[in-house]
């Protein structure tokens, strides 16, 4: 059985193993971002973390960029199949 790119494109992308992995990665990243980064990025507890809030904010922005680039990478790899 020979599977090439044309055969894979004829199926729904989310039914492939790469598509399911992409969906799982996006969902878990969304949950992590919502629970961890959103409170920092929304400036919810600035007074509580006054001494190191700049580091927390920079870390949350960096993590957000990392998650977006990771999702873009998974999408690009999946789109090239």
| Predicted local confidence at residue 6, as pLDDT | 56
- pLDDT, residue 4, reads 58
Give 4-48 pLDDT, tens digit per residue.
555 555 667 778 887 788 789 889 989 999 999 999 999 988 999
Domain that holds residue 59: 5-80
Higher confidence at residue 9 or residue 65?
A: 65
Query: Contact at 8 Å (CB) between 81 and 18?
Result: yes
Number of domains in the chain: 1
Q: Choose between 77 and 31: higher pLDDT.
A: 31
Per-residue pLDDT at 66 exceeds 60: yes
């Amino acid at each position: 059985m020979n599977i090439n790119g044309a055969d894979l494109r004829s199926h729904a992308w989310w039914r492939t193993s790469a598509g399911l992995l992409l969906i799982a990665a996006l969902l878990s990243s969304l949950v992590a971002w919502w629970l961890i980064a959103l409170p920092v990025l929304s400036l919810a507890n600035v007074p509580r973390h006054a001494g190191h809030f700049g580091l927390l904010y920079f870390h949350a922005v960096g993590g957000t960029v990392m998650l977006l680039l990771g999702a873009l990478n998974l999408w690009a790899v999946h789109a090239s199949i």
